[in-house]
Structures are given as C-alpha cells and as structure tokens.
Amino acid sequence: MDKIKEILIGTNNEGKYKEICDLLPKRVIKYSLKEFNILSPEETGKSFEKNSFIKASYFSKKTNLICLSDDSGLEIDLLNGEPGIYSSRWSGKKNNFDLAIKKIFKKMKKINKDWFYYNKARFICCLTLFWPNGKSYSSKGIVKGEISNSKRGQNGFGYDPIFIPNGYDQTFGEMESKLKMSIDHRFKAYLKIKNFFI
Ligand code: IMP
C-alpha cells in the first residue's frame, strides 16, 4: 500500500484543523480548505459516519486531493444523545459555544434539577479518508466521560470546558492539549487509520 504523502484537511473548524494536523506525521504535507477557499457542504446525513463521508468526498472532488474529514460531537445520556450530530449547529451561525453550553445546562436542569447525578456523556469522532479515485475508509473513536456542573478551563474548543473524561478530574478545557489529544475521540479514531500514513 502506498503511504499518503500529502493530504487536504477537510474542516473549516480551526480547533479540529489544529488537532488533526498535530496527530498526523510531520512529514505529511497538509493543505487547508482556506488555501482553496472552499465552504463546507450541507451536512444532510443522520450519522457522524455519513456526514464525515459527505465532507471528505465533497472536498476531495473539489480539489483532486486525498481528503481527511472529521465529523464529531457530544452525546449526553440525559438528553437522549443530544446535541450529537447537531453539536456544531447548537452554537448558532456565530459559533457561540457559550450559548450552546448554556443551552445544555438549561435542558439538563429542565429534565432533572439533580441532573449532576445523571451527567454521563461521550464525545464521538468519525474520520473519513476519501481518495480522488473514489476509494474511501472511515473509522470511529469514542471517549466516555461526564458533564461538569460549570465551565472550566480556557484550552481547546467547542464543548471542551464542560467535558470531564473518565479517570480524570480536569475538563478537556483545563487539560494540556497534549494530554487531551492522547486520550480523546479524535485520537482513538486516528489510531485506526494511521497505517495509511506511517
Ligand atoms: P462538525 O463535526 O463540524 O459538525 O462539528 C462538531 C462539533 O462538535 C464542533 O463544532 C464542536 O463543537 C464539537 N466537538 C467535536 N469534537 C470536539 C472536541 O474535541 N472538543 C470540543 N468540542 C468538540
């Protein structure tokens, strides 16, 4: 199998872009969507798998490059898996995660005022590689944890300040990014595709 030497990182999310670049080997040449001025397609799928495939195939076809796309999100048990595939959309057009996090606290409290005892959640990431010849490969990673009762930490992005992974006391927002990236959903999904690169 020919190893991938250059790749388009198929995301317009800065936080994801940085984490994916850091996961990939240094010698792989990385292109961003900014270089091609491409907007993201509509995520019409009903699963992380489908949406990451939609993005990877769309960007690869636009650029004729091998593309790696990520679709990810936070699933909260008490909210029946919400926000899930709508994790990004809960932050609105302005990507305001303060707003999205407030919405989570409000919804959890409405369902159960003692929601803190029922705070199980997980981050899910689906990565899809799509080649210009139509070949594709997808992988999934999950990290289980809990929702903290307040926002904590300035690191990371999105819902990081309210997610405490199992086995730790810190939220992802409080963790050194190196630690987060060695245990999170994106890393676990990456482990399953890393042989395409190394
Ligand atoms: P999408 O995959 O572009 O639909 O966006 C997924 C959304 O899930 C992001 O905008 C983030 O809000 C959230 N998300 C996914 N992965 C992470 C993570 O590692 N930390 C914090 N939030 C995340």
Residue of the nearest CA to atom 1 in ligand 1?
71
CA angle 87, 61, 83 (to 5 degrees): 5
Among protein residues, the one whose CA lies closest to atom 20 of ligand 1: 160
Q: In the structure encoding, which two tokens stand for residue 1, read together?
A: 């199998």
Rounded Cα gap, residues 95 and 108, in angstroms: 21
Q: At 28, phi and psi to the nearest 5?
A: -75, 130
> What is the full DSSP assignment across 103-138?
HHHHHHHHH-TTGGGG-EEEEEEEEEEE-TTS-EEE
Angle at 146 between CA 187 and CA 140, to 5 degrees: 30
Q: Where are the domains of the chain?
A: 6-196
pLDDT (tens digit, 9 = 90+) per residue, 3-40? Answer: 999 999 999 999 999 999 999 999 999 999 999 999 99
Pocket around ligand 1 at a 6 A CB cut-off? 13, 43, 71-74, 87-88, 123, 156-160, 172, 184
pLDDT tens-digit series, residues 99-149: 999 999 999 999 999 999 999 999 999 999 999 999 999 999 999 999 999
Intra-chain end-to-end CA distance of the chain, in Å: 11
Atom of ligand 1 nearest to the CA of 40: 3
Q: Which two tokens stand for residue 104?
A: 């989570």
Classify 6-196 by CATH class. alpha beta
Distance of CA 160 to the CA centre of its chain: 11
Atom of ligand 1 nearest to the CA of 100: 12
